[in-house]
Amino acid sequence: MTRWLHAPRRVALLSVHTSPLEQPGTGDAGGMNVYIAQTAARMAERGIAVEVFTRATSSDLPPVAEMVPGVLVRHVHAGPFEVLDRNELPAQLCAFTSAVLRTEANNEPGFYDLVHSHYWLSGQVGWLARDRWGVPLVHTAHTLARVKNAALAADDTPEPRTREIGEQQVVDQADSLVANTEMEADDLIHRYDADPAKVTTVPPGVDLEQFTPGSQQAARRALGIAPDAKVFAFVGRIQPLKAPDVLLHAAAQLLAAGKADRSRLVVLVVGGPSGTGLEQPRALQDLAARLEIADVVRFLPPLPGPELAQVYRAADAVAVPSHNESFGLVALEAQACGTPVVATDVGGLRVAVDDGVSGLLVPGHSAVEWANALARLSFPGLRGKMSDGAVEHARAFSWERTTDDLIGAYVRAAVAFQGEVVAS
């Protein structure tokens, strides 16, 4: 039975399908990886030991790796040593759960004070661990099937019914549900009938030490881009949900409408195929060729933080045209570097971007509307004003604040859990 009423001593953090040690921007590695890595590291700085359980995808991975002092990553053997499609992972949850429970059983009772699961697959494991260990379960969905299916790209595949059912089970069983925004909290309550008393909103953050304003000209020199170029960038996983094709269509529209000089236009696409995008890994390159803009588009692989910051600084604007986002960490990172963002007016992007102050929100995915928004940010006066607004807006978000709020959610979950145990 949980007895602590302050910060927990040790947290079991579950991330079945992706590891915080992976490079975000390809496969299943994205904003959730950043979230887990950043908050786990900061919990360790506050004296909370964190153990992250994730599925081993290679026989070369050590059973346990130290991410930073105080944070261990446990690579769990569950299924073949290869990256599996998310639809294949439910079949491996029994093996994964067994390994998690064995790890706890090898220690003294009460080794973990709390379970925090990320994404619904992890929630299924966390639900069983919660009951076995007698500790609270905190769950962060990151994305929700019913929300994604309501805003699908035309060529994307709907989330399966099994996921919706699995999510509902986790919502019903968790002691605390952490949402990224008030909109996500509302989705949990109205689409999944979550108890409002169990839902806490904790906005993600941004690394304000790594993503900082800097010289646009120096960043362009580092990337081999002309100082007078007009540069627009997309950063993220290449899949229909993220809609990188919107930026390419907008670039073609800018050229067709005479709003951009071909000799000066540069479109940067940073990331790798992911999800249903793996079915056509060269779809964007083929689209650039069909639109006759291959000469202005540069494709870059996923980049580590310092190099990614250079991309943000080099751009006149960063495009985040997703069909849905629970938050949108790329938008915050770009703004922290002083670069305005053009984003779709959906989901968490309405929080991540301050429309008209730090960037522009576009309703829908019309190439004309996106081209017009990008063209507006080509005017130095407006771009300069929004650059200042972007930095100011990003400063309101930090991983330190996120971590403090998470720990608060942990304590409230423990109090509620203890009350339930006493009542029963």
Q: What is the CA radius of gyration of the chain?
A: 22
124: which residues sit within 8 A by CB, 6+ positions away?
90, 93, 97, 166, 169, 170
Of 61-70, 232-241, 269-278, 284-293, least confident by mean pLDDT is 269-278
Residues annotated within a binding site for 1D-myo-inositol 3-phosphate:
17, 28-33, 86, 119, 143, 163
The count of domains in the chain is 2
> Are 309 and 382 members of one domain?
yes
Instruction: Quick: pLDDT tens for 172-227.
Output: 999 999 999 999 999 999 999 999 999 999 999 999 999 999 999 999 999 999 99
CA distance 177 to 194: 8
Q: What is the CATH number of the domain that holds 267?
A: 3.40.50.2000
* 305-314: average pLDDT: 96
More confident residue, 2 or 367: 367
Q: Is residue 3 part of a domain?
A: no
> Are 161 and 266 members of one domain?
no
Q: Is residue 1 part of a domain?
A: no
Q: Is residue 239 part of a domain?
A: yes
Q: Are 166 and 201 in contact (CB under 8 A)?
A: no
Residues annotated within a binding site for UDP-N-acetyl-alpha-D-glucosamine:
23-24, 31, 237, 242, 325, 333
> Are 293 and 151 members of one domain?
no
Instruction: Quick: pLDDT tens for 345-359.
Output: 999 999 999 999 999
Instruction: Quick: pLDDT tens for 368-401.
Output: 999 999 999 878 789 999 999 999 999 999 999 9
Residues annotated within a binding site:
17, 23-24, 28-33, 86, 119, 143, 163, 237, 242, 312-313, 315, 325, 333, 339
Instruction: Quick: pLDDT tens for 33-76.
Output: 999 999 999 999 999 999 999 999 989 999 999 999 999 999 99
Q: Is residue 210 part of a domain?
A: no
Residues annotated within a binding site for Mg(2+):
312-313, 315, 339
Phi, then psi, of 259 in degrees rounded to 5: -95, 5
User: What average pLDDT is seen over the chain?
Assistant: 92
Q: Which pairing describes strands 114-118 and 10-14: parallel, antiparallel, or unpaired?
A: parallel
Domain of 356 in residue numbering reads as: 216-395
The DSSP code for 216 is H
Share of the chain above pLDDT 90, in %: 80
3-class secondary structure, 340: coil
> Are 238 and 268 members of one domain?
yes
pLDDT at 1: 43
pTM of the model: 0.92
